[in-house]
Amino acid sequence: MNELLSTIDSPKDLAKFSDDQLTQLAAEIREALCTVVSDRTAHFASNLGVVELCIALHLVYDFSQDRLIWDTGHQVYPHKLITGRYHEFPTMRRKGGLMGFPNPNESPYDLFMTGHAGSSVSTVLGLKTGDDLLGHDERKAVAVIGDGALPSGIVFEAMNNAAELKKDMLVILNDNEMGICPRVGGLGKTLDKARTTPLYGEFKKDVSWILNQIPLVGGSVEKALVQTRDALKASLHGGMLFEEMGFRYIGPIDGHDLATLREYLEMVKNLNGPVLLHVFTEKGHGFKPAAEDPVMFHTPPPFERNGDDSVVSVKKSSSRAYTNVASEAIHAVMRRDKRVSVLTAAMCEGNKLGKVRSEFPDRFFDTGICEGHAVAFAAGMAKAGARPVVDIYSTFLQRSFDQIFQEVALQNLPVTFCLDRAGLCGPDGPTHHGVFDVGYMRLFPNMVVMAPGDEKDVSAMLDFALDYNGPVSIRYPKTGADLVDRPFVPVELGHSEILEWGEDGTIVAFGATLAASIQAAARLRKEGLEIGVVNARFAKPLDTATIFRAIDETGFVLTVEEGVLAGGFGSAVLEAANAEGHRTDHIHRLGISDQFVEHGDRGELLADLGLDAEGIFQAALQQIERAGVTKDWGNGLEHPA
Ligand SMILES: Cc1ncc(C[n+]2csc(CCOP(=O)(O)OP(=O)(O)O)c2C)c(N)n1
Ligand SMILES: CC(=O)[C@@H](O)[C@H](O)COP(=O)(O)O
Ligand SMILES: [Mg+2]
């Protein structure tokens, strides 16, 4: 297997293959995809669906000069295999290996590092405009965008502008009827029209035959007839929307038929102005289990295959992940409070909201990949007296910054934000690590910023939020929820929870760093040091009484957070201490410095950043030395550093 794929160093090598060899190449690419997902979580069904499209694109265009952006970028694996990264492919999504999204540091064929949906039409328009301005107008420009990404508002901003500029660019709509879950929204229904009529090729032949029966009396009639044909075709195929926006709509065509793809790409390649080519694909195409269950196989847990393409085992993820705890808490509160609704932005599966959707279809809202809208929509619901819970990943919620500011915080509306994947999300890497939210949420007056220290805190914080008459954000990472054994202290606005107190120093953990902080403190206590641990719970409002007591009465204060230091929890502590004239020289912050964190296993990344128990232990030891804490280390051992 892979006799052909392993010989490809550049897309230019594709030209040497016959049609039969290209068919074999597609099979080899699918085999490589199956192999890579058998021992790690990676994007699978989306990649299976674009194999022929990717081969056709690289046959028709020269992307060493032409511009290509894969929107979102989770379907970029075939592109990576064809652009000289076959031999590195086994390192996919491993620390230090290939990224699971486009990465310009890997190849000049990757122009933008992406992972968030919807920006491709804008960046391709920008590339084309820049190339034209700088005398490279011979370069073609292509964006490939999925039907799930298409409803993102930015796509329409870009198309609106592209139609104005009349730039020669191609948008390929990869329509597989799926986001991660089945696609939602009115736009999807427009696209569905295209599935009720013959594919473009057949339709075009029929219309051409009809037109040929009409004796043409001159250019004006022909022009009118062609326009009639295009309007008829576009209205039949749901393309009218794009035609009205100023894009030439072509399609739909079969996105798994290599010859058809090449024919149409050759045709549209030299059309003037913005063109949208509507391509039908099947998510999971070519691997039956994935085609039958593209939701499960979007990023399946590792699985093994039988020879007949059946799947032997799929390892389920941990059932006590924070995500599950949160979705169960949301479900419970929806059962007892009819004011409560939940909103997701195309991440129903990722947010584990399937049961909520089934039981409360009228109070479950999937807006599609439209996070800005989701937040403003929730604000409207809150204004009407409902209690919306916006359940959006930390990194994707960044899309809604202005709506959080204007529609929620400024109005002081009771919207509850559940920020899943807050912190390091592991193999998805820098586009997905949710590490900025404490900073951006803390900026807004009225916003309460919380993070559960363990599983028990999650439902308690949600209950608090829904009783609180203002905006609240609750952040938690993509990992198993810890369960800290202690007499539970109810969640109270601006109050932390003191788990241990010790004069030699205090570790103040914000969020899910609590368990590692407890472990580090326990090791230090074994060395004879009296180290306290505080479960901060709130970054805003801060529990200044407890924090100032730790500052004034203990040897040092070490804050620990799974997020960037800039504007984070530790910054809040420094700001508060400074504002009230307390010492700050013995306050040390653990978190993420001014850097983007690469992809890798979550545990590896935490250890690299010193945010695991060992790192916290070592940081505390350094603070102990700095504080001049002298201790008889018991058995006379050297300092336990
Ligand atoms: C702004 C943003 N929100 C949410 C996501 C999560 N997400 C990744 S892929 C995906 C579905 C994309 O569907 P589509 O564009 O149709 O691609 P397909 O997987 O069907 O090929 C979603 C919701 C994201 N990457 N970016
Ligand atoms: C491409 C994308 O953004 C999603 O597929 C994301 O990778 C899902 O992340 P989880 O697997 O953590 O839900
Ligand atoms: Mg899709």
At 562-618, the pLDDT tens digits run 999 999 999 999 999 999 999 999 999 999 999 999 999 999 999 999 999 999 999
Closest among 178, 571, 519 to 368, alpha carbons compared? 178
CA of 123 to the centre of ligand 2 (A): 22
Q: How far apart are CA 382 and CA 398, in angstroms?
A: 20
Share of the chain above pLDDT 70, in %: 91
CATH annotation of 322-475: 3.40.50.970
Is the domain defined by 5-292 classed in CATH 3.40.50.970?
Answer: yes
Q: Determine whether 138 is an active site residue.
A: no
Beta pairing partners, 423: 434
CA-nearest residue for atom 1, ligand 2, is 74
Cα dihedral 469, 475, 479, 480 sign: negative
DSSP assignment string, 608-636 = HTT-SHHHHHHHHHHHHHHTT-----TTT
Ligand 1 pocket at CB < 6 A: 46, 49, 72, 74-75, 115-117, 146-149, 174, 176, 178-180, 283, 345-347, 369, 396, 399
Mean pLDDT, rounded, for 235-252: 88
Does residue 252 have a cis bond before it (omega within 30 degrees)?
A: yes
Question: Is 42 labelled as part of a ligand binding site?
Answer: no
Domains 322-475 and 497-627 share a fold: yes
Catalytic residue among 140, 399, 475, 478: 399
Q: How far apart are CA 429 and CA 43, in angstroms?
A: 13
Q: Provide the residues around ligand 3 (an ion) whose CB is within 5 A.
A: 146-148, 176, 178
Nearest atom within ligand 1 for CA of residue 350: 6
What integer pLDDT is reported at residue 198 of this predicted model?
Answer: 66
Q: Which CATH architecture has domain 497-627?
A: 3-Layer(aba) Sandwich (3.40)
CA of 318 to the centre of ligand 2 (A): 16
Residues 154, 122 contacting (CB under 8 angstroms): yes
CA-nearest residue for atom 21, ligand 1, is 46
Catalytic residue among 28, 52, 371, 562: 371
Q: How far apart are CA 91 and CA 130, in angstroms?
A: 34
Please write the tens of the pLDDT for every residue from 29-78.
999 999 999 899 999 999 999 999 999 999 999 999 999 999 999 999 99
CA of 604 to the centre of ligand 2 (A): 19
Task: Kindly identify the ligand whose nearest atom is closest to the C-alpha of 151.
Answer: 1
Nearest atom within ligand 2 for CA of residue 347: 13
CA-nearest residue for atom 26, ligand 1, is 116
Give the domain ranges of the chain.
5-292, 322-475, 497-627
Q: Determine whether 283 is an active site residue.
A: yes
Question: Is 351 labelled as part of a ligand binding site?
Answer: no
CA of 428 to the centre of ligand 3 (A): 19
Mean pLDDT, rounded, for 533-550: 98
CA of 520 to the centre of ligand 1 (A): 39
Tell me what ipTM this predicted complex has: 0.99
Residues 297, 65 contacting (CB under 8 angstroms): no
Nearest atom within ligand 1 for CA of residue 369: 3
Please write the tens of the pLDDT for every residue from 389-417.
999 999 999 999 999 999 999 999 999 99
